[in-house]
């Protein structure tokens, strides 16, 4: 199960760096990247000029103090927006510093074509170089094991204290730079250039250095720019109306109105939301190659999962012994133990352990008197040859039946019934025979991971379909699928079948997520919209995916999907809140501006604000304060619960839409009550 690393929301170091960053981001060259806040900054510069030269645009000199107050509030608004982004970046940088500690200046034992080693700085290693890493040494860079087997301590990267086994070939050949070999040795082919390892990418990602705006973020930014332009036209038009009614509106008031009406709240928080979303992913030890991948997770409709190691534990363990008719259970257990005493596989060990609990008559010391026959893909059986010439075997039903038939033995009538029964239970039947006599069947159970059924139900509630892929026969696959609670399954699945399944879903306009670790999974990982590769897997799988899980937990894709959903919901909720805010601020400012000239406008002053200037300043102050007030929500995300999209929309509209209208009415009124005496003292 994925573990989110618990950290304080904001530390003293993050606070200090964020305050510094807020001032550094005032550079117009940086601010122009955020058009909404750039408009606010332009307004700040204009009101700053008016504070020094109040009559430059034809306004009265008595407005100097008012202009200064507006200038200060606008400056604070910009600082708060920059502060929000800096907090998000600061949390990432704090995490990056922790990761950097794992990157030590180390050396590498480079092997030439003749096998001679040369010690060089790890920074000089190139892709394709072969290095030798011995016990106690750091793995210098990401690579693939080409020779050897060893235990590797990955705690510096994953936080997992238990060492993991890495070996040449198979799906556990990949190693990460910065991890330590704790036993034996490994010969590793480097698969990344200096500065391009997964650890480097993660550091760059959490620092925000390589973060690019996602398509959804760009689309929302375009919407915000459009709204800003619309309200700019509205304010200019309003100035014309004011001239027509012979109402003199100060330039600083028009700027304040513009700042209050444009979506400054979401404009100030948009970047912070995106950075925080990426931050939440990395805290689950997942490297996202892009922000687009995280967002795509939020739109996932279908999830493709391997069975073995994802839905089930993978190691099938003995659960029961079923003797055939005419054979005692004790005899079956004894012969099953004989075949398993020297079988070091988890299955073999589980047979001995289960037999011990049931009372076997076989002494483990007799194993030395037996000749062990290992399992092969050709024979599909293993066993022992006894000193008296008896050959005892356990293996696949068809293989054992063929062997017994070859030895002129008889196939028990109830054997097929027992085998079918076990298959229907989702297990694997291992038939046991001694000579040409079949004694019974060992039931190997493939156990579904606890809690998965509930998690699949959670996904079903939010409309995500789950499909299990397995090489098992349809009968076994159906049983496991039912027990796990997945929506569908593909039995006897080959790599090309996974691709076809993904393409089929995509043709229906669905976003598909896939998890895998082997080279055979690479094509499917590349085809899927969200491909989550295991760090323990092959280099081909990691290169094909757009996300890599450093913990190598295939079920983590469930958490990643929820993070993506949370990112999208957070952005949508705060956008709704921001636009709803504008409605309230409109009713606060517009009536106040005109009620002195047009008495009928007094009816729209539903807040009962004390004066036009008090109303404008109250709305402006509220506009500034709401940004830092929403920073915790932007950082932590809106709490997400599985439900239909319709219910979610109604709920968020109720909370952030209606709330976004009510909160400003209350907030602006309170601020107005507090500042009204001060405004009166200024003579406004």
Encoded tokens for 76: 């604070």
Q: 624: closest CA among 82, 58, 49?
A: 82
- Count of Cβ atoms closer than 10 Å to residue 335 Cβ: 25
Instruction: Tell whether residue 376 is among the known ligand binding residues.
Output: yes
Instruction: Tell whether residue 129 is among the known ligand binding residues.
Output: no
Rg (CA), the chain: 34
* H or E element that contains 433: strand 428-434
Cβ–Cβ under 8 Å, residues 56 and 243: no
- Cα separation, 346 vs 357, in Å, equals 17
- Coil, strand or helix at 322: strand
Instruction: Tell whether residue 349 is among the known ligand binding residues.
Output: no
Instruction: Tell whether residue 75 is among the known ligand binding residues.
Output: no
- Count of Cβ atoms closer than 10 Å to residue 345 Cβ: 14
* H or E element that contains 385: strand 381-385
- Going across the sheet that includes 149-153, the strands are 164-167, 149-153, 180-181
Instruction: Tell whether residue 582 is among the known ligand binding residues.
Output: no
Instruction: Tell whether residue 399 is among the known ligand binding residues.
Output: no
* H or E element that contains 371: strand 371-373
Instruction: Tell whether residue 83 is among the known ligand binding residues.
Output: no
Encoded tokens for 119: 């010690």
DSSP per residue over 293-358, as a string?
HHHHHHT--EEEEETBTTTB-S--EEEEEEEPTT--HHHHHHHHHHHHTT--SHHHHHHHHHHHHH
- Coil, strand or helix at 31: helix
Give the single-character DSSP code of 197: S
Instruction: Tell whether residue 366 is among the known ligand binding residues.
Output: no
Cβ–Cβ under 8 Å, residues 140 and 191: no
**How wide is the angle at C-alpha 630 spanned by C-alphas 627 and 636, nearest 5°?**
140
Catalytic-labelled residue, pool 129, 306, 446, 672: 306
Query: Is 59 annotated in the active site?
Result: no
Cβ–Cβ under 8 Å, residues 261 and 78: no
Instruction: Tell whether residue 271 is among the known ligand binding residues.
Output: no
- Cα separation, 312 vs 306, in Å, equals 9
> Which residues have CB under 8 Å from 99's CB, separation 6+?
199, 202, 203, 206
Instruction: Tell whether residue 487 is among the known ligand binding residues.
Output: no
- Cα separation, 561 vs 558, in Å, equals 5
Instruction: Tell whether residue 521 is among the known ligand binding residues.
Output: yes
By residue count, the chain amounts to 684
Q: At what angle do helices 198-207 and 64-100 cross, to 10 degrees?
A: 160
Q: Around 53, how many Cα atoms within 13 Å sit in the side-chain half-sphere?
A: 6
* 3-state secondary structure string across 225-238: HHHHHHHHHHHHHH
Residue 475 burial by Cβ neighbours in a 10 Å radius (0-12, 13-18, 19+): middle
> Which residues have CB under 8 Å from 274's CB, separation 6+?
211, 213, 214, 217, 291, 567, 571
Catalytic residue annotation: 306
Where is the binding site for ATP, in residues?
343, 347, 375-382, 394
Where is the binding site for Mg(2+), in residues?
517, 521
Where is the binding site, in residues?
343, 347, 375-382, 394, 517, 521
């Amino acid at each position: 199960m994925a573990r989110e690393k618990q950290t304080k929301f904001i530390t003293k170091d993050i606070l200090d760096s964020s305050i510094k960053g807020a001032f550094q981001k005032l550079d117009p060259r940086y601010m122009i990247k955020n058009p909404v806040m750039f408009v606010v900054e332009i307004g700040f510069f204009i009101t700053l000029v008016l504070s020094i030269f109040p009559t430059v645009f034809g306004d009265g000199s008595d407005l100097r103090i008012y202009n200064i107050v507006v200038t200060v509030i606008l400056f604070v608004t910009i600082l708060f927006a920059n502060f929000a982004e800096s907090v998000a970046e600061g949390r990432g940088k704090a995490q990056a510093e922790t990761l950097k500690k794992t990157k030590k200046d180390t050396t590498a034992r480079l092997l030439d074509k003749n096998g001679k080693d040369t010690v060089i700085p790890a920074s000089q290693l190139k892709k394709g170089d072969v290095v030798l890493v011995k016990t106690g040494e750091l793995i210098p860079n990401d690579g693939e094991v080409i020779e050897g087997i060893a235990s590797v301590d990955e705690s510096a990267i994953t936080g997992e204290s238990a060492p993991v086994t890495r070996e040449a070939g198979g799906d556990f050949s990949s190693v990460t730079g910065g991890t330590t070999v704790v036993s034996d040795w490994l010969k590793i082919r480097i698969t990344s250039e200096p500065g391009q390892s997964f650890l480097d990418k993660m550091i760059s990602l959490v620092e925000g250095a390589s973060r690019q705006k996602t398509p959804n973020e760009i689309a929302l930014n375009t919407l915000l720019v459009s709204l800003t332009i619309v309200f700019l036209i509205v304010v200019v038009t309003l100035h014309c109306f004011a001239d027509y009614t012979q109402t003199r509106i100060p330039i600083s008031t028009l700027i304040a109105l513009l700042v209050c009406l444009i979506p400054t709240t979401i404009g100030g928080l948009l970047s912070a939301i995106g950075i925080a979303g990426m931050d939440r992913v990395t805290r689950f030890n997942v490297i996202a190659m892009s922000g687009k991948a995280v967002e795509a997770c939020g739109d996932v409709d279908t999830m493709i999962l391997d069975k073995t190691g994802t839905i089930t534990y993978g190691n099938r363990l003995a659960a029961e012994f079923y003797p055939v008719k005419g054979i005692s259970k004790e005899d079956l257990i004894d012969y099953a133990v004989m075949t398993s005493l020297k079988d070091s596989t988890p299955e073999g060990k589980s047979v001995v352990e289960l037999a011990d609990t049931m009372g076997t008559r076989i002494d483990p010391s007799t194993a030395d008197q037996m000749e062990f026959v290992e399992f092969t893909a050709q024979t599909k059986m293993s066993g022992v040859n006894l000193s008296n010439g008896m050959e005892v075997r356990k293996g696949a039903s068809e293989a054992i039946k063929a062997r017994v038939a070859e030895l002129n033995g008889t196939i028990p009538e109830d054997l097929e019934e027992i085998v079918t029964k076990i298959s229907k239970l989702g297990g694997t039947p291992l038939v046991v025979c001694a000579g040409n006599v079949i004694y019974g069947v060992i039931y190997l159970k493939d156990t579904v991971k606890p809690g998965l059924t509930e998690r699949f139900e959670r996904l079903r509630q939010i409309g995500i379909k789950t499909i299990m892929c397995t090489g098992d026969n349809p009968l076994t696959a159906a049983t496991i699928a039912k027990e796990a609670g997945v929506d569908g399954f593909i039995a006897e699945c080959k790599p090309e079948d996974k691709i076809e399944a993904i393409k089929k879903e995509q043709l229906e306009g669905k976003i598909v997520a896939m998890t895998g670790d082997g080279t055979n999974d690479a094509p499917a990982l590349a085809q899927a919209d969200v491909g989550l590769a295991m760090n323990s897997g092959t280099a081909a799988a990691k290169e094909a995916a757009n996300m890599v899980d450093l913990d190598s937990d295939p079920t983590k894709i469930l958490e990643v999907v929820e993070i993506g959903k949370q990112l999208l919901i957070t952005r949508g909720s705060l956008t709704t809140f921001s636009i709803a805010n504008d409605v309230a601020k409109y009713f606060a400012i517009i009536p106040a501006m005109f009620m002195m000239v047009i008495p009928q406008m007094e009816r729209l002053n539903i807040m009962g604000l004390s004066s036009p200037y008090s109303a404008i300043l109250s709305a402006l102050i509220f506009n500034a304060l709401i940004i830092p007030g929403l920073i915790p929500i932007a950082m932590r995300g809106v709490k997400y619960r599985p439900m239909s999209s319709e219910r979610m929309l109604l709920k968020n509209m109720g909370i952030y839409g209606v709330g976004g209208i009510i909160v400003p009415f209350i907030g602006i009124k309170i601020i107005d009550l507090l500042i009204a005496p001060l405004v009166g003292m200024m003579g406004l």
